[in-house]
Amino acid sequence: MASDAVAGTAVVDSVADVGALPDIARREPGGWLVPAAAALVVAALPFFVSPYGQDLVLRIAVYAIFALSLELLVGATGLVSLGHAAFLGIGAYATVLGSGSDGASLAWLLPLAVAAAAAYAVVVGALSLRTRGVYFIMVTLAFAQMAYFVVHDTKAAGGSDGIFLYAKPTLAIGSTTLVDLGNRAALYYAVLVALAFTYAFIAMLLASRFGHALAGIRVNEQRMRAAGFATTPYKLAAFVVAGALAGLAGFLLAVKDGAVNPELLSWHESGAVLLMLIFGGIGSLRGAVLGAVTFTLLKELFQSEALLGPLAPHWQLTLGLTIIAFVAALPRGLIGIGAQLRALARERAARAARNAA
C-alpha cells in the first residue's frame, strides 16, 4: 500500500474496498418515505422540546448539511478532503462581514455566502486536483490552513477572537418582512428547509448522469478516462458543489450563533466532519445525517456533568476511546450495522455448514 500511495489509486480503491459499500445511488430501504418521515418529526419537535433542545436540534441540522456536502466528495467521488471546514468558515465569515452593523437582506446575503465559498472551492479544487491520494489530503489541508491563518492573523477579519453578527438577515418585499431569521421559530424552519433541500438536491444529483460519472470515478478513474470521460472537470464540479453547500451550512451557522471565529476553519473542524461521516457510514446520505446526529449527541453526552458526573471533565478520553472503538469495530458506520450483522450471520452459517459436511 505504501508503494501504491504514489500511484494514487490506493485511497480510491480502499474506500470502495471496505466491504461492499452501499452504492450511494442505490435505493435504500424505505426509499423517500424514511427521510420524509424524519423531517416531519423534526418539524413537530418545537412543540415538545425545551428551547435548549431546539438549539441542539438546530446545531445538529446545520452540521448535517455540512456532513452531506462532504459526503458528495468522500462518499460519492472518493476524494478525501481534510480542508472542508474552510468552506464552512468562508460562508460564515462572508455572512457576518456582509451584514455590517445594520443587517442585510436574505436575498443577496445567502447567495453571497454560498458564492464566496464556491469561489474559494474553484481555486482550491483546480490546484489540488493535480495531486492524488494522500497528497490530495495534505493539499486540501494546506489550503484550509491558509484560509485559517488569513482569518486568524490579519485584522481584516477580526483576528483570533472572531466577530459578532449584530443583526440577523431578513427577507422583505417592500415594507413587509416575509422572513426574519432573528425569530427563533423562523430560523428553525429555515434550517429544516435548507437541510431537506440539500438532501434532496444531492440525492437527485447522484441519481443523474453526473452522479453516475462520479461513481465511476470513485471506483476506477483510469477506466473512466479510458472510456473517454475527462474526469477532472467532473471532480472539480463535485468539489465546487460540495464547497458551495458547505458555505450554505456556514451561513446558517453564523446566523444561528450570531458569531464567527477562526476555529470554524481549523483542521479540527475538518476532522470532526470526517468523523461524522465515518460514524454514520460512508456512501450513504442517511449515514451522513445519522453521523452528524451521533457525533453531536455523543459530545453532549460525554461533556454532561448531569449524566456522567466526575467523568465529564475527562471527556477527551471517553470521546477518544469511543471514536477508536467505533472506527475499529464499525468501519461501515451505523448505517452499515445491518449489512455487517448479516454478513457475520452468513459467515457463521457457512462455517457451520462446512463443519457439518
Partner 1 sequence: MQSIRLAWPAVAGALLAAASIGATAQTSGPIKIGLMLPYSGTYAALGTAIENGFKLYVQEQGGKLGGREVQYFKVDDESEPAKATDNVNKLIKRDNVDVLVGTVHSGVALAMAKAAKDNNTLLVIPNAGADAITGPMCGPNIVRSSFSNWQPGYAMGVVAGQKGVKRAMTITWAYAAGAESTKGFTEGLEKGGGKVIKDLTLPFPNVEFQALLTEIAAQKPDAVYAFFAGGGAVKFVKDYAAAGLNKTIPLYGPGFLTDGTLEAQGASAQNMLTTLHYADNLDTAKNNAFRKAYAIAYKSQPDVYAVQGYDAAQILANGLKAVGGDLSKRDQLSAAMRKTAVDSPRGKFTLSAAGNPVQDMYLREVKGNNNEFRSVAVKALADPARGCKL
Partner 2 sequence: MDLATFLVQCLNAVQYGLLLFLVASGLTLIFGIMGVINLAHGSFYMLGAYLAFALAPWFGDWFVTRLVAGVALAAIFGYLLEWAFFSFLYERDHLQQVLLTYALILVFEELRSILVGNDVHGVPAPSWLGGGFRLGSLMEYPWYRVFASAACLVVALALYAVVQKTRLGMMIRAGASNRDMVRGLGVDIRRLYRIVFAGGVALAALAGMIAAPLSSVYPNMGASVLIICFVVVVIGGIGSITGALIASLLVGFVDTFGKVFFAEWSGVGIYLLMAIVLIWRPEGLMKRGF
The piece of 104-112, 128-136, 177-185, 293-301 that touches partner 2 (CB under 8 A) is: 128-136
Q: How far is the CB of 28 from partner 1 (least distance, A)?
A: 8
Q: How far is the CB of 78 from partner 2 (least distance, A)?
A: 10
Q: 164: which strand partners?
A: 259
- Asked if residue 310 binds partner 2 (CB under 8 A), the reply is no
Residue 9's nearest CA partner among 230, 276, 224, 211 is 224
Which of 48, 52, 101, 155 lies at the binding interface for partner 2 (CB under 8 A)? 155
Q: How many residues does the chain have?
A: 357
Which of 34, 127, 178, 297 lies at the binding interface for partner 2 (CB under 8 A)? 127
The piece of 44-52, 187-195, 231-239, 348-356 that touches partner 1 (CB under 8 A) is: 44-52
Hey, which residues between 179 and 218 contact partner 1 (CB under 8 A)? none
**# residues contacting partner 2 (CB under 8 A):** 52
Which of 2, 3, 51, 329 lies at the binding interface for partner 1 (CB under 8 A)? 51
- Asked if residue 146 binds partner 1 (CB under 8 A), the reply is no
Nearest CB to partner 1, comparing residues 224 and 277: 277
Which of 24, 76, 80, 86 lies at the binding interface for partner 2 (CB under 8 A)? 80
- Asked if residue 63 binds partner 1 (CB under 8 A), the reply is no
SS (H, E, C) the chain: CHHHHHHCHHHHHHHHHCCCCCCCCCCCCCCCHHHHHHHHHHHHHHHCCCHHHHHHHHHHHHHHHHHHHHHHHHHHCCCCCCCCHHHHHHHHHHHHHHHCCCCCEHHHHHHHHHHHHHHHHHHHHHHHCCCCHHHHHHHHHHHHHHHHHHHHHCHHHCHHHCEECCCCCEEEECCEEEEECCCHHHHHHHHHHHHHHHHHHHHHHHHCHHHHHHHHHHHCHHHHHHCCCCHHHHHHHHHHHHHHHHHHHHHHHHHHHCEECHHHHCHHHHHHHHHHHHHHCCCCHHHHHHHHHHHHHHHHHHHCHHHHHHHHHHHHHHHHHHHHHHHHHCCCCCCCHHHHHHHHHHHHHHHHHHHHC
Nearest CB to partner 1, comparing residues 16 and 335: 335
Q: How far is the CB of 111 from partner 1 (least distance, A)?
A: 25
- Asked if residue 161 binds partner 2 (CB under 8 A), the reply is no
* Residues in contact with partner 2 by the rule CB under 8 A: 1-3, 5-6, 10-11, 14-15, 17-18, 74, 80, 82, 127, 130-135, 137-139, 141-143, 145-146, 149-150, 152-155, 267, 271, 274-275, 278, 282, 314, 316-317, 319-321, 323-324, 327-328, 331
* Residues in contact with partner 1 by the rule CB under 8 A: 29-30, 34, 37-38, 41-42, 45, 48-53, 55-56, 59, 149, 152-153, 159-162, 164, 257-259, 261-264, 266, 269, 286, 290, 303, 305, 312-313, 315-316
